[in-house]
Amino acid sequence: MTSRIVIIGGGQAGGWAAKTLRDEGFDGEICVVAEEEWDFYERPPLSKAALLQPEAAFPRLFSEEAQQALNLTWYRPLRAESIDREAKAVVLSNGERLSYNMLLLATGGRARLPGEAWAAHPQVYTLRHWQDAQRLKSRLAE
Ligand SMILES: Cc1cc2nc3c(=O)[nH]c(=O)nc-3n(C[C@H](O)[C@H](O)[C@H](O)COP(=O)(O)OP(=O)(O)OC[C@H]3O[C@@H](n4cnc5c(N)ncnc54)[C@H](O)[C@@H]3O)c2cc1C
């Protein structure tokens, strides 16, 4: 029986889970549902090199070749909106249902603001994603 593992979350945990599954010999389908459009990347550089270095490289978790070798099926940029445990399916933000044999939640954390008004404030920034770092960097340069 072909087995399918669905990983929700394309962060470091999701990336290492996929890599470890392959390293340990899992040869079924690995699907990654990721709301970000990017390949797996590391966040620590976002508050360091990505802000300080003019031409900071995208901090990939794995080289392009290494990630290609994992043979993943990406669903991105899409959110997992709900999980139908009875049917063993994940419902995606485009309405698609993705069935699974096994499911891994690697949804990490998110930046929280004290209230909604803060999100609209022009001088309040959150720093969680690659785009956040790019935005903050350009404002800091000003
Ligand atoms: C600016 C910054 C600096 C940091 N510096 C350090 C450091 O110096 N040292 C250190 O040890 N740690 C540091 N950290 C913490 C470290 O980056 C985190 O511990 C790590 O990113 C956790 O990885 P994760 O994969 O569990 O979660 P995350 O990195 O949060 O990844 C989860 C992913 O899942 C996605 N996701 C969430 N919900 C859904 C959904 N429903 N559907 C689809 N996708 C979804 C998110 O968009 C995200 O891409 C830093 C973090 C930040 C933000």
Tens-digit pLDDT profile for residues 88-115: 999 999 999 999 999 999 999 999 999 9
Sheet holding 80-84, edge to edge: 80-84, 89-92, 97-99
Nearest to 15 by CA among 69, 78, 52: 69
Alpha-carbon distances of 136 from 72, 74, 81, 115, 133, rounded to whole Å: 32, 28, 29, 20, 5
Task: Return the residue whose CA atom lies nearest to atom 30 of ligand 1.
Answer: 108
Q: Which residues of the chain are under the pLDDT cut of 50?
A: none
- What residues flank ligand 1, with Cβ below 6 Å? 8-14, 33-36, 43-44, 46-47, 79-80, 106-109, 127-128
What is the whole-number distance in angstroms between the Cα of residue 39 and the centre of ligand 1? 13
Q: Kindly report the backbone phi and psi dihedral angles of residue 105, in degrees, each rounded to the nearest multiple of 5, phi listed first.
A: -95, 115
pLDDT digits (tens, 9 = 90+) for 72-81: 999 999 999 9
What is the whole-number distance in angstroms between the Cα of residue 108 and the centre of ligand 1? 5
Domains for the chain: give ranges and CATH numbers: 4-141 (3.50.50.60)
Q: What is the mean pLDDT of the chain?
A: 95
Task: Return the residue whose CA atom lies nearest to atom 11 of ligand 1.
Answer: 44
DSSP code for 137: H
Is 124:25 a contact under the CB 8 Å cutoff? Answer: no
Please give the number of the atom of ligand 1 that sits closest to the Cα of 12: 25
What is the whole-number distance in angstroms between the Cα of residue 110 and the centre of ligand 1? 7
Q: Kindly report the backbone phi and psi dihedral angles of residue 30, in degrees, each rounded to the nearest multiple of 5, phi listed first.
A: -115, 115
